[in-house]
A and B are shown apart, each in its own frame.
Chain A
Amino acid sequence: AQSVAQPEDQVNVAEGNPLTVKCTYSVSGNPYLFWYVQYPNRGLQFLLKYITGDNLVKGSYGFEAEFNKSQTSFHLKKPSALVSDSALYFCAVRVYTGGFKTIFGAGTRLFVKA
């Protein structure tokens, strides 16, 4: 079965420090991996994706993610966290089952403290 796991319910980090939000995946075939962010009472916003090529993917708002095939991971990172980065982050994988669908991880809540 295709799945995505986010092992941390919550990540706390001080402003200015680097942050990492973890994600591991289990898919058959090539993984198409995504990160989305959701602010309170809002829809999800696309941050970045890995399709193929360079394992380090750069995205919006200074975020980047590293694809690691051997560890089946796709961790989200940012060198210096901002208070405004506090939000709910979802890792996701795109699969085809008669139509294209996105399978989301459970989500990780990021708190950045000033």
Chain B
Amino acid sequence: DTEVTQTPKHLVMGMTNKKSLKCEQHMGHRAMYWYKQKAKKPPELMFVYSYEKLSINESVPSRFSPECPNSSLLNLHLHALQPEDSALYLCASSQEGSASSYNEQFFGPGTRLTVL
């Protein structure tokens, strides 16, 4: 299985809602990522988990809260978002290790988020 799955595919939420995005992979990858992508722009890194521990937080607002319950799952909890947070949210995974910085990432199809 060389697939990263993301649910839901589409999400519309109000600014007072709480919702969660989910990501799953069964490739045995120990690094997982959340990206935000605006239309026709490159993905912007939000968070990196390595061996289920948060290793990079790109100064993301606290209304985004990541969680890595186990090596196969990655969640992104959303609360009190703003309309400018509307974007495609991509999850990715890769094999990782101290001497393996050259591994490609496998991306999920993304969740299209609209904040009203």
Chain B contacts to A: CB under 8 angstroms: 4, 31, 40-43, 45, 48, 50, 55-56, 88, 90, 92, 94, 96, 101-110, 112
Contacts and interface: CB of A to CB of B under 8 A. Distances in A.
A107 B40 contact: yes
B45 A44 contact: no
Contacts, number: 65
A104 B43 contact: yes
Contact residues of A: prevailing secondary structure: strand
A26 interface: no
11 contacts: A34-B104, A41-B88, A43-B108, A46-B104, A90-B43, A94-B102, A95-B101, A99-B48, A100-B50, A105-B42, A106-B41
A71 interface: no
Interface in A1-50: 32, 34, 36, 41-46, 49
